[in-house]
Amino acid sequence: MRRRRFLAALSGTVGSGWCVLSDTQADAAASTTTGDAVGWDGSDGVGGSDRDVVAQRTADRTLALSPSSYVTDDRGTVELQFAAPATADGPAVLRATLTNANDFENTFRLGETPPFDRTPQAKPETTADRLPVFLAPTANHDLCETPPAYGRADDGRWLLAREDDWLPETVTLGPGETVRGEYVLLGHPESRKPPLGRYEIAPEFALGLTAWRTTKQGPRGRSAFEGTEPPSLPVEEERPVNWYHDADRESAVYLEPSAEYVSLPAELEFTFHNHSRRPRSCEFYRLYRWEGDGWRLLDRGYPVQACYGRSPGERTTFRLRAFPGKVLEGDGGLRSRSMRLDPGRYAFAVGYDEVYAALFELVGQMCGIPLAERGQSRSRFL
């Protein structure tokens, strides 16, 4: 069922406020995106992993979708992919489909099937002062007659002109029937800089958009162990270890500790970042302690499904709670562990084919070690 049929069927219940745009903008969008000018199979220049990852040409940003599909409770299958990056000629383009996987006709509440909801957008996951990014429907959308207006800022970013409700509240699909929607990625009218970090499109299904700096994708701060050359970890088949303290701004994949010098009792997080263009895994974790003449393996986790093939832009966080007293039970998650650890130097590692690790040091019940004193200990590991 194509767009005109949908609009004819829905016009009696939606009203005229669906889409707000200038006629000039709509005509321009239609001239480049309507009809069969662009295929839906990714064969128009964006294919393979590039359907999930694009490098913008208007800002120092790489964008990744993860995951790229989900299934609703009423068996609506939603798939989303990039079609083109942002350029001087136009914003980044995404395409989505909603398919009725039932063997009967079903009415889908579109507010529960982003990005087919009324005002599709990706909201920042954490920082409150960041503004959302909009997925504005184009003229090549089965459920929108005319797309919203947008323009280009002086710094090259593409921004939405005005936020509004653009799509209907429901759509009825027959068995196996699909609606298709094309979108352009636009900044908030009041935004002052390109997106950065994780943005949620459908948080209940973990569907989101991650943005990172293309040229400076690695850790932003300096490691307290910079310049340290620790002895090799006894990992499987003596695989090389990618240490956090060796990572720089160009490192695409790394394991980042929340702190490197911590006083007991302590809670540490180790976050695995994948800013590359292919899936990476962090399926095993290992905890080592330096014993003076070598590394001693203290703990090793079983494979966790969440760590198999982390897509570009995805991250996984492991949590370690360290107590100077008795061993305490974990919270039941394979990515969270509570245990007794004495003061000393440790290493936390993840991955099998590719191993990523971070050093950290636990000290007694004190406020911490000044950075100048830490520097004195970096020249020797033992």
257-270 pLDDT, tens digit each: 999 999 988 889 99
Residues 144 and 270 in one domain: no
CA 257 to chain centre: 19
pLDDT recorded at residue 353: 82
Residues 193 and 304 in one domain: no
Residues 275 and 349 in one domain: yes
- What pLDDT, in 10s, does the model give residues 202-239? 999 989 999 988 888 888 888 999 999 999 898 766 78
CATH number, domain with residue 271: 2.60.40.1930
Residues 129 and 273 in one domain: no
- Structural domain including 20 reads 3-212
Residues 17 and 60 in one domain: yes
49 falls within a domain: yes
pLDDT-based confidence at 328, cuts 50/70/90? very low
45 falls within a domain: yes
Residues 153 and 55 in one domain: yes
* Number of domain units in the chain: 2
In this structure, the number of other CB atoms found within 10 A of the CB of residue 5 comes to 10
- Given a cut of 70, is residue 368 above it in pLDDT? no
Mean pLDDT value of segment 148-153? 96
Residues 144 and 105 in one domain: yes
Residues 52 and 111 in one domain: yes
pLDDT recorded at residue 88: 94
Three-state DSSP class for 236?
A: helix
- Listing DSSP states for 194-212 in one string gives ---EEEEEEGGGTEEEEEE
CA-to-CA dists, residue 370 to 244, 258, 266, 373, angstroms? 20, 17, 17, 5
Residues 59 and 179 in one domain: yes
In this structure, the number of other CB atoms found within 10 A of the CB of residue 70 comes to 18
Mean pLDDT value of segment 76-90? 95
